């Protein structure tokens, strides 16, 4: 079993935090809120995750800044996960490219919809109500479990 850590940035509705907390309750993984308030030695981890809500089709800027600041990603197995309000789209490409440019090996990406009230959507009560739901949470746990137990 891999020693794993998950960096999580979750802002507006805590959609991503809900997923991260469920993963931490079910699996042996350390979850660290972003921005990070402690020094993290990545040499202790075999698997490093990055989780964020999606903002204008990209991971939150604090995740970008964190990745830029991290030493020790070269050769590390990493994964990404996100929640988003859009009905479809692949939101892992930009962050995957950033990780690979630092020498990381990206093992995969997981995503699901999350409640969204950005801009005009707040006037109609938001999009993706009641998401992430139990099915989404279980899917995320299974995704991370498969990576940890590889």
The CATH label, of 3.40.50.2300, 3.40.50.360, 3.40.50.1820, 3.20.20.140, for the domain at 4-148 is 3.40.50.360
Indicate the pTM of the whole model.
0.88
Sign of CA dihedral 17, 88, 78, 150: positive
Cα–Cα dist 113/132, whole Å: 6
Residue 84 has a pLDDT of 75
Interval 80-99: pLDDT, tens: 999 876 667 677 778 899 99
Interval 6-55: pLDDT, tens: 999 987 667 889 999 999 999 999 999 999 988 899 999 999 999 998 88
Sign of CA dihedral 40, 42, 44, 46: positive
On average, the pLDDT of the chain sits at 86
Residue 150 has a pLDDT of 77
| pLDDT over 60 at 120, yes or no | no
Residue 95 has a pLDDT of 87
Residue 142 has a pLDDT of 97
3-class SS shares of the chain: helix, strand, coil, % to 5: 35, 25, 35
Residue 56 has a pLDDT of 79
Residue 73 has a pLDDT of 95
Q: Residue 75 region, left (φ>0) first, then alpha (ψ -120 to 50), else beta?
A: left
Residue environment code for 114-136, b if the CB has 16+ CB neighbours within 10 A, otherwise e? bbbbeeeeeeeeebbeebbeeeb
Please answer whether residues 15 and 133 qualify as being in contact, where contact means their C-beta atoms are separated by less than 8 angstroms.
Answer: no
């Amino acid at each position: 079993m891999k020693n794993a850590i998950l960096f999580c940035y979750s802002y507006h509705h805590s959609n991503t935090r809900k997923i991260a907390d469920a993963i931490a309750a079910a699996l042996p993984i350390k979850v660290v809120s972003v921005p990070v308030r402690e020094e993290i030695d990545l040499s202790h981890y075999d698997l490093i995750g990055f989780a964020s809500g999606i903002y204008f089709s990209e991971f939150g800027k604090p995740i970008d800044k964190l990745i830029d600041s991290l030493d020790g990603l070269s050769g590390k197995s990493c994964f990404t996960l996100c929640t988003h309000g859009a009905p479809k789209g692949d939101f892992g490409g930009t962050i995957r490219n950033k990780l690979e440019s630092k020498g990381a090996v990206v093992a995969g990406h997981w995503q699901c919809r999350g409640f969204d009230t950005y801009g005009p959507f707040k006037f109609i009560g938001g999009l993706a109500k009641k998401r992430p739901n139990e099915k989404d949470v279980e899917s995320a746990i299974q995704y991370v479990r498969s990576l940890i137990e590889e």
